[in-house]
Structure 1
Amino acid sequence: MSRRQDDGPAAPLTGENWTLEMPLEDLEATERFAHILAAELTAGTLLVLTGGLGAGKTTFTQSLAEGLDVTGPVSSPTFVLSRIHRRAAEGPDLVHVDAYRTDAEGLESLDLLSTLAGSVTVIEWGRGLVEHALVGEGGSWLDLELESISAEDRSSAGGGKIITDFSESEEDLLGTPRRAMLRGYGPLWLRPPDALNG
């Protein structure tokens, strides 16, 4: 059974060891965050990427791929479900999966277990579907939730400024601000990556 168009992201799973909340003011901040996180990821890492439509999951994954130094362009695997991006030098490949249009049985048919050990596996819309199937009951994974901060949220926080200029702004060019919530699960992620925890 595939996810309905109006379904939002699933709620976070219980049992996380820690949660980091980070504001990402623009595309450059999102890119920096993805590069820092990429430096902390090793082969066998499962990253479940969550967020509503348009929250920036694919944009984040493109920057993560740059940080991992994988070859070729990274685009959304919505219609093919899974793409493998090879590492340019030594290190893990990137397996990028979009679970939006499938279910646990469909994901099982991708045989992600065969690539997990040698790759960083990023699964969009996978929360609650993939964690235990791929890493087992006592396994480890990261959960990253991206959330766009709407203009209404920003204006209510900033005193309700009235907008009279509708031309393209610097903010439009740099992208919508986001909030990132990174959670660690299992024995490999007992504490946040040092590079992000400070």
Structure 2
Amino acid sequence: MRELGAELATRLRPGDLVVLSGPLGAGKTTLVQGIAEGLKVRGPITSPTFVIARVHPSLCDGPDLVHVDAYRLGGRLEVDDLDLDASLEESVTVVEWGEDLVEALNEDRLEIDIAPGESGDERLVTITGVGPRWSRAS
């Protein structure tokens, strides 16, 4: 998952929204750790379950990483309270458990579903690009 995240980071740019879904323990945070490594942001990257959102500043000239865990959020109004749209344009925003909560933030987004495979280490990952940004090669 880290390798996939690092590869994905090479394609991400400021303003991108990534929505992660999958069961507990599927590898969502591990994927974000790989994205963070690829973006070269300050860590450590841990699940922000109790603080809801963390900003990881860039250590180079790249975008910051906004890492959100929407697991404990009760709905879209609580998402609005986070003001994620305030930093959306200059950051890469990755939201764990964000399905059906954050899609209104950006018409362009990557939706990534992670499911455990048959073996303990295997993961089945489905990446869906939504909107004009992802309808063309980037």
TM-score interval w.r.t. the shorter chain? over 0.9
**Does 1:140 find its partner at 2:108?**
yes
Larger Rg: 1
Q: CA deviation at 1:98?
A: 0.5
1:177 matched residue in structure 2: 122
**Does 1:123 find its partner at 2:95?**
yes
Write out aligned runs for 1:22-171 (5 A).
30-102=1-73, 103-132=75-104, 134-135=105-106, 139-151=107-119
Q: CA deviation at 1:192?
A: 5.7
**CA contact 1:94–1:119 (8 Å) conserved in 2:** yes
1:186 matched residue in structure 2: 131
Distance 1:100 1:192, change over 3 A: farther
Aligned residues: 137
| C-alpha distance in structure 2 between counterparts of 1:80 and 1:150, whole Å | 33
Secondary structure, in 3 states, of the residue corresponding to 2:66? strand
More relative contact order in 1 or in 2 (CA 8 Å, sep 6+)?
1
Which 4+ runs in 1 deviate beyond 2 A?
Answer: none
Give the RMSD, CA atoms, in angstroms.
Answer: 1.2
| C-alpha distance in structure 2 between counterparts of 1:178 and 1:71, whole Å | 27
| C-alpha distance in structure 2 between counterparts of 1:34 and 1:123, whole Å | 14
More strand as a share of residues: 2
| C-alpha distance in structure 1 between counterparts of 2:90 and 2:8, whole Å | 18
1:24 matched residue in structure 2: none
| Matched letter for residue 12 of structure 2 | L
Question: What TM-score do the two structures reach when normalised by structure 1?
Answer: 0.67
**CA contact 2:2–2:32 (8 Å) conserved in 1:** no
Q: Give the share of equivalent positions with the same residue, in percent.
A: 47
Structure 1 stretches lacking a partner, 5+ long: 1-29, 152-174, 194-198
1:25 matched residue in structure 2: none
Question: What TM-score do the two structures reach when normalised by structure 2?
Answer: 0.94
**CA contact 2:52–2:68 (8 Å) conserved in 1:** yes
1:19 matched residue in structure 2: none
| Matched letter for residue 33 of structure 1 | L
Q: CA deviation at 1:35?
A: 1.1
